[in-house]
């Protein structure tokens, strides 16, 4: 995904959106992405899947993804069609999980305070540049450390490690 620019319409959620809200445990007896997508954020945004368009962007407040280690959460968001999550801050396990499965996420504190629901954003996940295409305002997200960029560049942790393991012989 590295280098691929993203653009999409904004969905907004508040602070401390936890992994139970992103995908409730009652659905964790299955792990197919399509199934998880059907219940993504359902207790917060009713009928999300019917309304979300592929490529849309989720903008959140502080501490997005707090709680459980369930990777089902970023998988559900990605499968529901979100191309990117931008938040004031992320919970650390969620952050790792999103990078590991190749879901771009960007820490950009100003975005949730400024950008309106329904606005269109253009995002460069590598540089962290975020542009509000409606108002023209440009935001700077925190850039990824080079090591994480490498993981994202390979498409996630598994392709990255697969290559390392292969080279080791």
Partner 1 sequence: MGMTITEKILADHAGLAEVSPGELINVKLDLVLANDITGPLAIKEFRKIGVDRVFDKDKVVLIPDHFAPAKDIPSAQQCLEIKEFSREQGLTHYYEVGRNGIEHCFLPEQGLVVPGDVVIGADSHTCTYGGLGAFATGVGSTDLAVGMATGEIWFRVPESIKFILKGKPRNPWVTGKDYILAIIGKIGVDGAQYKAMEFTGEAIRDLSMDGRLTMANMAIEAGAKNGIIEPDEKTLAYVKERAQKPWKVYTSDPDAAYSEVIEIDVTNLEPQVAFPHLPSNTRPVSQATQVKIDQAVIGSCTNGRWEDLVVAAEIIKGKKIHPEVRAIVIPGTQEIYLRAVKEGLVEIFVNAGAVVSTPTCGPCLGGYMGILAKGEKAISTTNRNFVGRMGHPESEVYLSSPAIAAASAILGRIGSPEEVA
Which residues contact partner 1 (rule: CB under 8 A)? 16, 18, 20-21, 24-26, 28-31, 43-44, 62-63, 66-72, 74, 89, 91-93, 96-97, 100-101, 145, 147, 156-158, 161-162, 165-166
Enter the tokens of residue 151: 């993981």
Enter the tokens of residue 79: 């499968």
Nearer to partner 1, 107 or 121 (CB): 107
Nearer to partner 1, 105 or 121 (CB): 105
Give the nearest distance from C-beta 152 to partner 1 in angstroms: 13
DSSP 76-129: HHHHHT--EEEES-B-HHHHHHHHHHT--EEE-HHHHHHPPTT-EEEEETTTTE
Nearer to partner 1, 136 or 147 (CB): 147
Q: Residue 121 contacts by C-beta under 8 Å, 6 or more apart in sequence?
A: 7, 8, 9, 10, 57, 59, 86, 111, 115, 130, 131, 132, 133
Nearer to partner 1, 63 or 114 (CB): 63
Give the nearest distance from C-beta 108 to partner 1 in angstroms: 16
Give the nearest distance from C-beta 136 to partner 1 in angstroms: 32
Give the nearest distance from C-beta 53 to partner 1 in angstroms: 25
């Amino acid at each position: 995904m590295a280098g691929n620019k993203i653009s999409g319409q904004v969905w907004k959620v508040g602070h401390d959106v936890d992994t139970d809200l992103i995908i409730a445990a009652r659905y964790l007896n299955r792990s197919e992405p399509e199934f998880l997508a059907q219940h993504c954020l359902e207790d917060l945004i009713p009928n999300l899947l019917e309304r979300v368009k592929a490529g849309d962007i989720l903008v959140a407040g502080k501490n997005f993804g707090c709680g459980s280690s369930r990777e089902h959460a970023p998988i559900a968001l990605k499968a529901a069609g979100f191309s990117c999550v931008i938040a004031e801050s992320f919970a650390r396990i969620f952050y790792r999980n999103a990078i590991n499965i190749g879901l771009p996420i960007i820490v950009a504190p100003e975005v949730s305070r400024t950008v309106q629901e329904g606005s269109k954003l253009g995002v460069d996940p590598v540089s962290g540049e975020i542009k509000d295409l409606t108002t023209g305002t440009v935001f700077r997200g925190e850039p990824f450390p080079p090591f994480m960029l490498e993981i994202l560049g390979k498409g996630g942790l598994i392709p990255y490690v697969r290559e390392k393991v292969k080279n080791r012989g």
